[in-house]
Structure 1
Amino acid sequence: MRIGIVCPYSFDVPGGVQNHVMDLAEALIGLGHEVSVLAPADEDSPLPPYVVPAGRAVPLPYNGSVARIAFGPVSTARVRRWIIRGEFDVLHVHEPLTLSLSLLAVLSARGPVVATFHTAMTRSRALAAAQGVLQIVLERITARIAVSALARKVQVEHMDGGAVEIPNGVAVAKFSHARPLPGWPGECPPGTDGAIGFLGRFTEARKGFPILRDAFVELARQRPGLRLLVAGPGDADDLFGRFPADLRDQVTFLGLVSEEDKARMLRSVHLYVAPNTGGESFGMILTEALAAGTTVVASDLDAFRRVLDGGRAGRLFPTGDPAALRTALADLLDDPDGRAALTDCGDQVVGTFDWPVVARRVLEVYAAAIEATDGRVMDTEWVGLD
């Protein structure tokens, strides 16, 4: 099958949707399909061979974060050329309601279109301003995928349609076989040592880093061997300035890491903490931590609860409560058997998210979309693209 996949967000900056698109493409290629991915990126960016760069992106506030997107006449022309040259059996767009390449691809498509919705956001100023165009986009989508029950609920209640729920995948082998970073993680005697990890934008409010910081500061004063490993974009001085001077030696900052080093980072800690306060429709980092064999401690968000099987595959704590997080961390650091029980359950849970398993479910949606269109070619003139 010839498959065209469109990512709305720039490959110049890492993110959950970008990683999802790359992993899906590689899983489909591994299953014998021909895949081309179109994404915003500079022409000279180092990209996988299956990715076609669509030019430089611009930042746009979106869903409590900043998305780097591409839009406008030049982007439209590039999208159309890519679709014509690709002669795809199916076009798979991600986040088609974002003002970027995915939306343009839907409007330019002439065959079956499958759309994946990642977020559970119901409205934004950008969406409201483009409501007329978005209705056209929704009408031209043949089949919809939602990565979570929350994202699917948005489709049913706000987008006049249903969606097949297929979760984000994780390349289990990549994480389970990763080597820990030098000097990590070591043994974790009860009451003394231990390593805690956080990955994300520590300056972004909804990632909840201040909650983890407060819990760590209290805990580190009782456990002089406790260490915190932080990875993600941001300034090192800004990060260390958030901690008391006498505890900064117990904090290590990796900065922005590659996918390979992310896997190594997750293999290097005893507990991975996701203190997010909201805005999450799934929780890909949780499945990656589970794949790495790391015990997960996460906010009791609905999306996280679903990934962690209601708390069987990881410890949940009340969202926004640093005292409760500190207690959960202390309990697990002192309970290696409890950590082992959680990771054993995590191994079972994460198997359902392994990319070959997820990719086969996506292929079933492709087949249904192709059958639904029955080889018909849509006219694009009426949306002003010719």
Structure 2
Amino acid sequence: MRSAEYPRRVAMISMHTSPLETPGVGDAGGLNVYVAEVARRLGARGVEIDVFTRRTDPNTPDEVSPHENVRVIQLAAGPAKAMSKEDLPPLVNEFAARLDARTEDYDLIHSHYWLSGLAGLGLAARREIPLVHTMHTMARVKNASRADDHLVEPDVREEGEAAIVRAAEVLTANTPDEALELQEHYGAREEQLAIVPPGVDLDRFHPCNRSRTREQLGIDQDHQVIVFVGRIQPLKAPDVLIQAVGELVRRDPERRHRLRLMIIGSPSGPESSWADTLPGLVGSLGLDGIVEFRPHSPRDQLFRWYCASDVVGVPSYNESFGLVALEAQACGRPVVATDVGGLRHAVDDESTGLLVHGHDPERWADALSRILDDPELAVELGRNAATHAARFSWDNSAKATLDAYHSARLAVS
């Protein structure tokens, strides 16, 4: 039962991407999953959740109710078409005005990503209700960890995030490391911070029969299969896995007959054309027939690709958490991930997978081969991975979110 100390109605803002969108398409990703799952669990606890997002299709209904006590509401701001989030800052004020025109009474605003935070700032002040904000990613953190040839996050984003930190009653962070980053990069106060770990849908992602799944997908039982899942952009670094696979084949040319790298996802962001360089990289390394590109998959289908893999690679330059790593582990698959950000919490190094410092393809090849060439280690890591992932649930995330809401309400009482 919902205690009276918790809010009755919450306006949740996800301006730049709808929780109804398929992760891996455009700007849809882990944030979409986070908003959808937390909203669903809060609704099940009796909190009425209205998720406000920007209309990107003129034919989409004004309101959709995907779950009990949850509504996804489309607001007009700019043209009713898909736009990159980098092009949305000029539309924040229009979106905020549409939101402010709503007559519903809300007890609290929970904004996701900096564009939504800016839209919620004025509304929270005018209605004298608390603002809870979840960054998901931060400009100053991304700029500090980016590669030299990656785009720099703009000043307007850094300034917007700083304004949100100054105004929000509570800032939720996925991990203690992210909370520390909010303090170090933005001057967040310790009393503002609440740790809300993301969860994983354990009904959808769970240990599975690899042999049967490979038979269904037409994958050779003897192949060594590495899977990458994510948006195809420099930040996610699928090129690192391609180069690592090239190094594995260079070391052992016979491996090319059994090694496969499946890259599952679609181009995204202002550097979406970067994805066009990857087939050329594959060709230059002589990996045609070894590396396969597949578009984004619905989450039910994604489960099958995790199941078919020997190991899942997450070579991102930065992740606030890394839901892909958690989903893969929930399926009993070891993960090799970059030793950065939230991945340090999602993956238990040497227990559920391996963390790699940096993006040197040789180091990545070393880590991948440790798992691919040691079946006993792979089984042990996979077993530990499933146990580790089972500790994360969206119900726990919802409970931590409610506690953050309670703290925010106390801060303005």
Instruction: Name the TM-score, length of structure 2 as normaliser.
Output: 0.77
Q: Is 1:231 aligned to 2:264, yes or no?
A: yes
Deviations 1:53-73 (A, max 9, x none): 223464244xxxxx8667244
Question: Match for 1:159 among 187, 192, 195?
Answer: 187
* Distance in 1, Cα, partners of 2:47 & 2:341: 35
Q: Work out the number of aligned pairs and report it.
A: 355
Stretch of structure 1 that moved more, 179-188 or 285-294: 179-188
Q: Is the 8 A contact 2:322 2:342 kept in 1?
A: yes
What is the deviation of 1:237?
A: 6.7
AA aligned to 1:54 is L
The answer to whether the aligner puts 1:271 opposite 2:311 as a matched pair is yes
User: Aligned in 2, Cα 1:140/1:215: closer, same or farther, shift over 3 Å?
Assistant: closer
Q: Which residue of 2 aligns with 1:144?
A: 171
SS at match of 1:286: helix
Q: Does structure 1 retain, via aligned residues, the 8 Å contact 2:130–2:408?
A: yes
- Superposed CA RMSD in Å reads 2.8
| CA spacing shift, 1:81–1:257, aligned 2, 3 Å | farther
Percent of aligned positions that are identical: 25
Q: Does the C-alpha gap of structure 1 residues 45 and 222 become closer, same or farther in structure 2, counting only changes over 3 Å?
A: farther
Label 1:8 to 1:198 Cα distance change in 2 as closer, same or farther (>3 A).
same
Distance in 2, matches of 1:130 and 1:273, equals: 33
Asked if the contact 1:28/1:359 (under 8 Å) is kept, the reply is yes
> Within 5 Å, which residues of 2 pair with 1:68-107?
71-82=91-102, 84-85=103-104, 87-95=105-113, 98=114, 100-107=115-122
CA contact (8 A) 2:174 2:196 kept: yes
Check whether the contact 1:175–1:263 (CA below 8 A) recurs between aligned residues. yes
1:1-386 alignment runs, 5 A limit: 1-11=8-18, 13=26, 14-42=28-56, 43-45=58-60, 49=66, 50-55=71-76, 56=80, 58-61=83-86, 71-82=91-102, 84-85=103-104, 87-95=105-113, 98=114, 100-109=115-124, 110=127, 111-122=129-140, 124-127=154-157, 135=163, 137-157=164-184, 158-162=186-190, 163-176=193-206, 180=213, 182-183=216-217, 187-188=221-222, 193-202=223-232, 204-220=233-249, 221-223=253-255, 224-234=257-267, 238-244=277-283, 247-276=287-316, 278-374=317-413
C-alpha contact (below 8 Å) 2:136/2:320 kept by paired residues: yes
> Which region of structure 1 is more displaced relative to structure 2, 290-299 or 121-130?
121-130
Amino acid aligned to 1:173:
D
For the residues of structure 2 that align with 1:178 and 1:5, how far apart are their CA atoms? 35
Compared with structure 1, are the counterparts of its residues 349 and 29 closer, same or farther at alpha carbon in structure 2 (3 Å cutoff)?
Answer: same
Q: Residue 195 of structure 1 contacts residue 269 of structure 1 at CA under 8 Å; is this kept in 2?
A: yes
- Asked if structure 2 preserves the Cα contact closer than 8 Å seen for 1:118 and 1:151, the reply is no
Residues 264 and 296, structure 2, Cα contact 8 Å, conserved in 1? yes
Distance (whole Å) between structure 2 residues aligned to residue 339 and residue 324 of structure 1: 18
- Of 115-124 and 139-148, more deviation after overlay is shown by 115-124
TM-score by length of 1: 0.81
Tell me, in whole angstroms, the C-alpha distance in 2 between the residues paired with 1:240 and 1:260.
27
- C-alpha separation between the residues in 2 aligned to 1:48 and 1:254? 31
**Alpha-carbon deviation of 1:185?**
5.5
Partner SS for 1:339 = helix
* Cα 1:51/1:122, change in 2 over 3 Å: same
**CA 1:315/1:138 → structure 2, altered by over 3 Å: closer, same or farther?**
closer
1:342 partner letter: L
The answer to whether the 8 A contact 1:8-1:40 is kept is yes
Structure 2: gaps of 5 or more residues? 1-7, 142-153, 268-272
For 1:44 and 1:200, the matched residues in 2 are separated by: 28
SS of equivalent to 1:9? coil
Stretches of structure 1 that go unaligned for 5 or more consecutive residues are: 62-66, 375-386
Confirm or deny: 8 A CA contact 2:92 2:118 kept in the other structure.
no
